[in-house]
Copies of this chain bind each other. A is one copy, B any other.
């Protein structure tokens, strides 16, 4: 067996503002032999997600930060290349968090076997991965939308937002998306069935919300925060639910970011603002995947992936999440599918 070389991106410094390539250090090292119980995974796809930005920051977070010198954390889809764990077979496709490297060794506890099937593998990093689960549980369990209500989704053309809006339509909501280009807005309304879409870069969000949500807003699925959230809050109905799934507008800020100026609307409208992180729902993943598989089979859920080749491009491509210059779930192709 030839020696495998593991190429890695390790955190070199904590980013100040947008991530720079120099915040990471490229390293290469041989893959060690497996111990009993271990599995060797070769990464095929690496998921780049807004949450990654939080993982390299010191300070309060829902997970420990990646330490300087550590391999950058990242969700991955890979193939088992060797195993001394009887739960896995060579050739198995597994989802996990092997990180920004070619290979990872795991005891298997953090790996999820992906059933073989007709879906493209990237589906398991998008609609049928954390992205889909985030949309499903965040909207349905926290947002609790009801038929006839109005749902507003920010970051609507993003991986999560686009699925949220489609589930909102399935539930029977009026769905209005907020996105950053006209092309994205057209995709939302023409392809995904959103009732309306607002280009926040060229339109007044407040004015367009008034126009497209004539009965006010009942549910907000928030991926963005900042001025977008502020605009939404000014137009919420009594008992509105605001699901805080992401606050990407502030993730690269080097200054303290004020909360929404319309915060008193929470009181006035007796609204519920609730934070949501998908890891709390992993024990119910099966139910979501089953339901979304059915909707997908019925043609009621669509998704897009935007795949960039080469592990070496990860640090420069991750900022596409923050400047909007990607088109669908952002994925790095690390190696070929088997």
- Cβ–Cβ contact A280 & B270, under 8 A: yes
- Cβ–Cβ contact B256 & A261, under 8 A: yes
User: Which residue of B247, B261, B262, B267 contacts A267 across the interface (Cβ within 8 Å)?
Assistant: B247
CB distance from A11 to the nearest CB of B (A): 20
Give the number of copies in the complex: 2
In the bound complex, what is the Cα–Cα distance between A291 and B225 (angstroms)? 41
- Cβ–Cβ contact A263 & B260, under 8 A: yes
Interface status of A311 (Cβ within 8 A of chain B): no
In the bound complex, what is the Cα–Cα distance between A234 and B273 (angstroms)? 16
Residues of chain A from 128 to 160 with CB closer than 8 A to chain B in the complex: none
The tally of residues in A whose CB lies under 8 Å from a CB in B reads 33
Q: Given the interface contacts A259-B260, A263-B260, does A271 sit within 8 Å of B270 by beta carbon?
A: no
Please give me the residue from chain B that is nearest to A264 by CB atom: B247
In the bound complex, what is the Cα–Cα distance between A258 and B276 (angstroms)? 23
Interface status of A72 (Cβ within 8 A of chain B): no
Interface status of A39 (Cβ within 8 A of chain B): no
Residues of chain A from 83 to 102 with CB closer than 8 A to chain B in the complex: none
Chain B residues within an 8 Å CB radius of A250: 264
Mask: chain A, 105-140; 1 = CB below 8 Å from B; 0 = not: 000000000000000000000000000000000000
Interface status of A202 (Cβ within 8 A of chain B): no
Interface status of A277 (Cβ within 8 A of chain B): yes
Q: Given the interface contacts A260-B259, A261-B257, A263-B247, does A275 sit within 8 Å of B268 by beta carbon?
A: yes
- Cβ–Cβ contact B275 & A270, under 8 A: yes
Chain B residues within an 8 Å CB radius of A247: 263-264, 267
Nearest 8 interchain pairs by C-beta: A259-B259, A258-B258, A259-B263, A267-B275, A273-B273, A259-B260, A266-B275, A270-B275
20 additional contacts (CB under 8 A) given A62-B267, A268-B277: A60-B234, A60-B268, A62-B268, A225-B263, A247-B264, A257-B263, A258-B259, A258-B261, A259-B259, A260-B263, A265-B275, A266-B274, A270-B274, A270-B276, A270-B280, A271-B274, A271-B275, A272-B272, A272-B274, A273-B274
